[in-house]
Amino acid sequence: MKTYFRLLSFAKPIGKYAIPYIIFTLLAVLFSTLNLALLAPLLTVLFDNSHPVVVQKPEHLFDFMKMLNYYAYVIKTQGDIIQALKFVCGIILISVILGNLFRYLSERTMENLRINTLLNLRRTVFNNVMDLHLGYFSNERKGDIISKIASDVQVVQFSVTGTLQVIFKEPLTLLFYLVTLIVISPQLTLFSILVVPVGGIIIARIVKNLKKQARESHETYGMMISYLDESLNGMRIVKAFNASRYMKKHFDDENRRYSDIMRAMARRQQLASPVSETLGVAMVAGIVLYGGSQVLAGKSGLTAASFITYIAIFSQLMRPAKAISTSFSGIHSGIAAGERVLALIDEKPQIVDAPDAQAIHTFERDIRFDNVSFAYGDNEVLHNVSVTIPKGKTVALVGPSGGGKSTMMDLIPRFIVPSKGRVLIDGHDLENLQTDPVRTLMGVVNQESILFNDTIFNNIAFARPTATMAEVEAAARVANAHNFIMDTEHGYQTNIGDKGSKLSGGQRQRICIARAVLRNPPIMLLDEATSALDTESEKLVQDALNNLMKNRTSLIIAHRLSTIQTADLIIVLEHGRVVEQGTHQELVNQNGLYRKLIDMQTFAAN
């Protein structure tokens, strides 16, 4: 229940909805019960043509059924039976209208509560996901995260808030029915309530173990979405390696497993209805047999009309009892989904600004790594790195794969934080600076072009949403992108498709460079920005990068060493350590690792 109440906390402000819901539900249940109780005076008016003893006016106004019996008797004894029939039917009609009006208002209030819960819960989950460090996404399947935000949150919305509705409304309905039955016949009701729990126990056993099945279904669904996401994103590779059959099998296995779990859950849930209906009919038959024999023997004190009304109300008693029992399946499903959602909410960001962290809006000095180490778990990828990136200079990071180049670059915008040592920008330790202002000083261009399914204009203006068309066009010209943009169907308003699929690799990269130009940052971080391009595209992109890096502090990770020979400083990393640093010519003359890398690429090119 701790999980349930925590999920319910997302319904805030719950008082705004709870009080009206309680009032409307109370009135709806009252009039719904009254509708059935009014059967007694209606049947009396229609079928009782005898001359009964004088009916006394009830002393208490809340005894509605006796009060209506009294007034129906008064009208009928005046000789106008049609008028008595009109009176009873009119009361029934008014009661039905009021009952349905209040039921509508209560359901509308609950729907507002449900939507408000979904809004708050989904907002909280997404906000926390956006604040998580990059390392989290390396260890988690994207499809599983999508499943939690989309599917699981939806399950929580309907099952948990729906269960709240059942837990309040159905017991209240059950209570009103029981009170009415006791008013009609305490003796018969005592016999009746002894058999009602039997149905509840049987149904509860049917829905047992649904929580475990619900958790398995959500996990399997997440895996299935992951395979779908990976297949769509890697479609080119899947086709190239004839791996369609392999991916189909993986997806089909999870799909079958998910279907089997859902089938088992549906079997248990659907079994509850016919079983409860059968039990209900059996109980009503037992009451009719027992109560009918009492009425016929004149021992119960009930009239035929009152007994029929009693049977009608008792037949409805199983409905709220069944709803209460089967609602536990909703609780199980909602709690299972809720635990997964809350686990995502509870995932703590690795990077949290200190309460007294200061903002930095200018960059006047160097970037410095002071004895920095970093580890992914037990795997230390940087070891006591101490280097300086001078302001206004172009610095390249080179070295064998896995040497720690990307890790070192990710420390500057605080995508990750060092496990030891300090990273200083403009003389300030990044630990003491607010993260957002630090990142506004930087432009990032990666090997993978990160673009969105939107127009070219909006993809460039992503860096600065308030940018004008003239500013966006100027940035595109610097990035050597304006000419090909104007050749597209709608120019800057052309939609580029999912991840920029309508553009070539070089065009996508130049859009990313234009986005960085538009931001106009003093620091540029370029992570192998040309490594995936052909020779012609590489030249255009490299020219754009050269334009971008003018008068800026630039840190470059380069795959092709020929592109960084003019760098002011080249830092060579191997196994997480700085083994060499200097200009291109200085490093060549040292005849060390850098010279070996140059020779290897020259040999490969020939």
Output the CA torsion 590→591→597→599 (10° steps).
130
- Token pair for 216: 């398995």
Q: Which two tokens stand for residue 244?
A: 């369609």
Residues 6+ apart with CB under 8 A from 547: 478, 479, 480, 517
Most confident range, picked from 52-66, 190-204, 424-438, 542-556: 424-438
3-state secondary structure of 343: helix
In the predicted structure, residue 50 carries a pLDDT above the cut 60: no
Mean pLDDT of 572-594: 92
Q: Percentage of residues in the chain with pLDDT exceeding 90?
A: 16
Averaged pLDDT, 411-427: 91
The answer to whether the beta carbons of residues 526 and 474 sit under 8 Å apart is no
**pLDDT value at residue 487:** 92
pLDDT at 180: 80
Q: In this structure, are residues 440 and 521 in contact, taking their beta carbons and an 8 Å threshold? A: yes
- Secondary structure (DSSP) of 182-193: HHH-HHHHHHHT
Does the pLDDT value for residue 79 go beyond 60?
A: no
pLDDT band at 168 (very low <50, low <70, confident <90, very high): confident
Calpha distance 548→511 (Å, rounded): 12
Residue 113 CB neighbour total at 10 angstroms: 23
Q: What is the pLDDT of residue 267?
A: 75
Q: What is the DSSP string of 442-491?
A: EEEE-SS----SSBHHHHHGGG-TT--HHHHHHHHHHTT-HHHHHTSTTG
Q: Are 344 and 128 in contact (CB under 8 A)?
A: yes
For the residues 565-589, what does the mean pLDDT come to?
92
Cα separation, 171 vs 301, in Å, equals 29
Residue holding tokens 């599917």? 151
pLDDT reading at 61 higher than 50 = no
What DSSP character marks residue 357?
Answer: P
pLDDT digits (tens, 9 = 90+) for 256-295: 888 888 887 777 766 766 776 677 677 777 777 777 777 7
The average confidence (pLDDT) of the chain is 78
Query: Is 90 exceeded by the pLDDT of residue 500?
Result: no
Instruction: Please report the pLDDT score of residue 51 as a whole number.
Output: 47
User: What is the reported pLDDT for 194?
Assistant: 67
Query: 526 and 553 in contact (C-beta within 8 Å)?
Result: no
pLDDT of residue 291: 75
Q: What is the mean pLDDT of residues 552-562?
A: 85
Confidence check: pLDDT of 116 > 60:
yes
The residue extents of the domains of the chain are 2-346
pLDDT of residue 53: 43
pLDDT at 196: 61
d(CA 117, CA 405): 44
320 vs 57, which has greater pLDDT? Answer: 320
pLDDT in tens, 200-259: 666 666 656 665 676 677 678 777 777 777 677 667 556 655 677 877 887 888 888 888
Q: Report the distance separating Cα 399 and Cα 574, nearest Å.
A: 6
Indicate if the pLDDT at residue 521 is higher than 50: yes
pLDDT for 542 beyond 60: yes
Q: Does the pLDDT of residue 327 top 70, yes or no?
A: no
Query: Per residue in 354-403, pLDDT tens?
Result: 777 888 888 888 999 999 999 877 888 999 999 999 999 999 999 988 88
- β-bridge pairing 442-445 and 394-398: unpaired
Q: Which one is predicted more confidently, 11 or 571?
A: 571
pTM metric for this prediction: 0.64
Mean pLDDT lowest for which of 117-121, 135-139, 421-425?
A: 135-139
Q: How much is the pLDDT for 239?
A: 65
Least confident of 58-62, 138-142, 171-175, 201-205: 58-62
pLDDT recorded at residue 54? 45
* CATH class of the domain at 2-346: mainly alpha
